[in-house]
Amino acid sequence: MYGGKSWIRQMKDEGTAAAFLKIRPRDALLRRRPKTISAVWLMIKTDKRVTYRQMRTSSGIGMSQVHEILHKHLAVRKLRARWISHNLTEAQKLHRVTWCREMMQRFAGGGSYGVCDTLI
């Protein structure tokens, strides 16, 4: 009775397959998902250095689910031990472009040593 087919047949014959599947129905996991995604997002917002294990233990989900929530639903990635969003808003993109243009004008031709002043 160690083969896969005989195990399934035995469960069907005994009627335990339905009881086994009722332990954690897929519907319950899908209903819980928005709350879990919100909880993981809140953890990242409060502490950008939160780890996978901390997220897993506090939310009660597995590592693969944490990974899926972070990368597929929240679109974040770990950069220098901090969670950074992949998706920028239009205002954030515009701010970055404006800042880059200002820096290019400020340091054009190498005449300004403002970088050295801020580093020293």
Kindly report, residue by residue over 72-83, the tens digit of the pLDDT: 888 887 766 666
pLDDT for 98 equals 92
pLDDT surpasses 50 at 111: yes
CA gap 67, 52 in Å, rounded: 8
pLDDT surpasses 50 at 1: no
pLDDT surpasses 80 at 102: yes
Structure tokens of 5? Answer: 């087919």
CA gap 99, 9 in Å, rounded: 67
Kindly report, residue by residue over 13-55, the tens digit of the pLDDT: 665 555 555 545 455 555 567 888 888 888 888 888 888 888 8
Structure tokens of 86? Answer: 């992949």
Q: What are the residue ranges of helices labelled H in 1-120?
A: 4-14, 16-21, 26-46, 52-59, 63-68, 90-106, 114-119
